Chain A
Amino acid sequence: MISEIPPEFIVKIDYEQCKRCKRCVMNCSFGCMQFKDRVIPDHKKCVACQRCVTFCPESAITITKNELSYKENANWTPEIRQNILKQAETGGMILSGMGNPRAYQILWDHLLIDACQVTNPSIDPLREPMELRTFIGRKPERLEFSADENSEIELATELGPQIKLDIPVVFAAMSYGAISFNAHKALVMAAKQSGTLMNTGEGGLHKDLYSYADNIIVQVASGRFGVHSEYLNTCVMVEIKIGQGAKPGIGGHLPGEKVGEEISKTRMIPVGTDAISPAPHHDIYSIEDLSQLIYAIKETTDYTKPVSVKISAVHNVAAIASGIVRAGADIVTIDGFRGGTGAAPMVIRDNVGIPIEVALAAVDQRLRDEGIRNNASILCAGGIRTSADMAKAIALGADAVVIGTAALVAMGCRVCQKCYTGNCAWGIATQKPELVRRLDPLVASERLSNLLRAWDLELKEILGSLGVNSIESLRGSRERLRGIGLDEMTLKILGVKPAGVGQ
């Protein structure tokens, strides 16, 4: 069948500028650029990944939207019609990558942060110390102290394992398989450099990165890829992945295109097969079963690693989180519906789940109401774009936030959403050696470290303007937030007053 789908983008080449160096032909990994005595683009193949535009030495290439490929219609949008055509041609579910791109209300942008004026002094973070250090893990209900014969006071309460973060941001779980070895390496190097953590995702960890154990969260998901006792001990924290914000309630299929020799070895599945992660863990059908897996991991790591349970934000998230904490988790990671993915059916990604803002507020409040908030840290994932989002998340109750897409963008991702094809032109979401080579782990890790440094500085400015000198003073302090343009019920769930209301 000849495809009737019109091209989404038009690639324009300024032939007066073009020196016919063919760099665009070499750089395009989607087969769009052909050379027949001059560069001829095949518009249909363009995904607007911007690789050719960026690397054309003459700036001779522009990519534009194919504006009238579909006649304007507010109801039957180009996207809807394109998807219907694709489905009519293939009979398949529409697959997509990255997070939900739809224009749902972003609650972060309806929250504003307080500042000091006259009656309480603000603090200048350039001159005064600011504490962003965060400890993740179960905290005791009360602390007991003892004094020795010299009247030296010592902590008598035995603390469970705690993880020190220099900045309250960790990198999101992105598997070796979904992203390249070089991307994994860049993340772990940046985590080490910045005093934080990267998360292996569910595809195991390449042996060459085992030496970075102090900056690694290892993930255990339903496919149990690359999970063994050495892996579970090569980390500071183990995460059980129950759900992912981009695809709540469904499993994952790493497309066979991305399962080459190295991935096959790490995951222990045949080359070229889809790596299948079943929707549930088949040893977890209840909170009691979850508890069993949590303690299996604790037994295997001799109780030296805190265990996190990651769930997607769904309607009943607060009650589920309560169950998770009672099951013995030391950390709950909540992933909102704008969270990213390497591959998900579009219908799930764009329609299932709830925003992280309300999920986070509901979970924090529920755990407080039940008197078990201290039993677990909360990591907030799925849609953290800026240091402002981070500050607001922490004020809503998060102990730290998780960034995936922001980290990818820092490494060079242009959010073209074609991760599932394995053709990533930027060497990030691919396993093809010639493409992976394009991402220099050193350069990418420096870009990531720079991003974290920038957010560190910005967060300190926010704290200074709030008149506090420690992130602990902002944590869960919803009084320092105000809502604009939000309905009463949403404000109530967020536990935030409308802007204009004083204390």
Chain B
Amino acid sequence: MKIDCSGMYYRKLNKIIRDAAEAGESEFILDHVNGQRYIGSGINKKIKITINGVPGNDLAMFMNGPLITVNANAQDGIANTMNAGEIIVHGDAGDVIGYGMRGGKIYIKGNVGYRTGIHMKEYKKQVPVIVAGGVACDFCAEYMAGGILVLLGLEKEGDMPITGDYLGTGMHGGVVYIRGGVDENMLGKEVSVLELDEKDMKLLKKHLAEFCEHFGFDLEEAMSKPFVKLLPVSSRPYGNLYAY
């Protein structure tokens, strides 16, 4: 199904998508998207949505299954509390990507904003993944309780830092992989930097291979720089704040 979204209010657009998906339509191509919010939000079917243009905030919020491809930049709140599905953004993305994300994957070609991966979760085999090709801003992986977050910094120039300040602050679960290492000044108090072991490498390679396939990068080049991993120091970073 092809939809011309120019001038269309988000409520109408999302209703069309929801109703058609319910009726069995499995593929949507949205043209001239310009800031419409909540595309793909709360949809429980494995449909495909291709977005030509810049979607609005909360793309794929509470989403549970669809594959969304954005052929432009994306805004704030992508995959907010998302449960399952996949999002591929051929550009940069805004703030709070993957807030409270519970499952599924996000691949972003370029940079991400503030608080990427905040409060991601996981349970057993349900592990959310975010891979960003560029750099991130402050509070990346804040309060992370699970999941995998990969930052590549592929096209960053010179001494440009790969993240902002307070990386992994409040982290108490999950793992962050960073290509080319990270300046310790950027770290939150609750994380430590470790080297990758074989298991890490295998996991990383799997997600990077998918990333490179989506965006046409060379896997060998992506793997050419050494990675570091960030893990929480304690599973109870705030356990000693209180007198019982």
- Which residue numbers of A lie inside 8 Å of B, CB to CB? 83, 86-87, 89-95, 222-225, 227-230, 232, 253, 255-256, 264-265, 267-270, 272-274, 276, 278, 282-283, 292, 295-296, 299-302, 345, 420-421
Contact = CB atoms under 8 A, between A and B. Distances in A.
Interface stretch (B154-162, B192-200, B236-244): B236-244
A420 B142 CA distance: 25
Contacts of B100: 223-224, 227
A282 B244 CA distance: 29
Contacts of B76: 283
B119 A229 contact: no
B54 to A, nearest CB: 16
A256 B77 CA distance: 29
Interface stretch (B23-31, B58-66, B220-228): B58-66
Given A228-B64, A296-B62, A223 B123 contact: no
A301 B238 CA distance: 35
8 contacts: A95-B243, A228-B64, A228-B83, A272-B235, A292-B77, A296-B37, A296-B80, A299-B38
Contacts of B173: 269-270, 273
Contact of B236 (A227, A273, A302): A273
Contact of A296 (B61, B115, B122): B61
Q: Report which residue of A227, A264, A283 has the largest number of chain B beta carbons within 10 angstroms of its beta carbon.
A: A283
A93 B238 CA distance: 11
A228 B84 CA distance: 10
A264 B100 CA distance: 15
Contacts of B243: 83, 86-87, 89-95
Contacts of A89: 243
B18 to A, nearest CB: 7
Contacts of A93: 241-243
A224 B117 CA distance: 13
Interface residues of B, number: 49
Which are the 3 A-B pairs with shortest beta-carbon distances? Answer: A300-B42, A224-B100, A268-B121
Tell me which of A95, A269, A300 has the highest count of chain B C-beta atoms within 10 A of its own C-beta. Answer: A300
Contacts, number: 139
B44 A282 contact: no
Contact of A224 (B38, B81, B235, B240): B81
B132 interface: no
Q: Which one of A94, A225, A270, A278 has the greatest number of beta carbons of chain B within 10 Å?
A: A270
B96 interface: yes
Contact of A273 (B61, B77, B96, B235): B235
A274 B64 contact: no
Interface string B200-244: 000000000000000000000000000000000001111111111
Given A269-B121, A292-B37, A301 B42 contact: yes
A206 B241 CA distance: 30
Contacts of A282: 96, 99, 115, 118-119, 142
B98 to A, nearest CB: 11
B170 interface: yes
A447 to B, nearest CB: 30
Contacts of B241: 92-93, 253
Given A283-B80, A345-B242, A268 B61 contact: no
B126 interface: yes
B145 A268 contact: yes
B14 interface: yes
Contacts of B239: 255-256, 274
A3 B48 CA distance: 63
A255 B239 CA distance: 7
A253 B244 contact: no
Contact of B244 (A232, A292, A420): A420
Question: Could you say which of B81, B126, B241 has the most chain A C-beta atoms within 10 Å of its C-beta?
Answer: B81
Contacts of A292: 37, 57-58, 77
B105 interface: no
Interface in B99-120: 99-100, 102, 115, 118-119
A302 B61 CA distance: 14
Contacts of A94: 242-243
A419 B197 CA distance: 41
B190 to A, nearest CB: 11
Nearest to B126: A268
A421 B80 contact: no
B238 A283 contact: no
Contact of A229 (B62, B240, B244): B62
B179 interface: no
B99 A253 contact: no
Contacts of A83: 243
Contacts of A253: 238, 241
Given A227-B81, A268-B146, A296-B38, A274 B172 contact: yes
A299 B64 CA distance: 14
A223 B173 CA distance: 14
Contacts of A232: 42, 62
B143 interface: yes
B41 interface: yes
A276 B142 CA distance: 11
B18 A302 contact: yes
Contacts of A278: 118-119, 143, 170
Contacts of B77: 283, 292
Interface string B135-158: 000000011011000000000000
B41 A283 contact: no
A269 B146 contact: yes
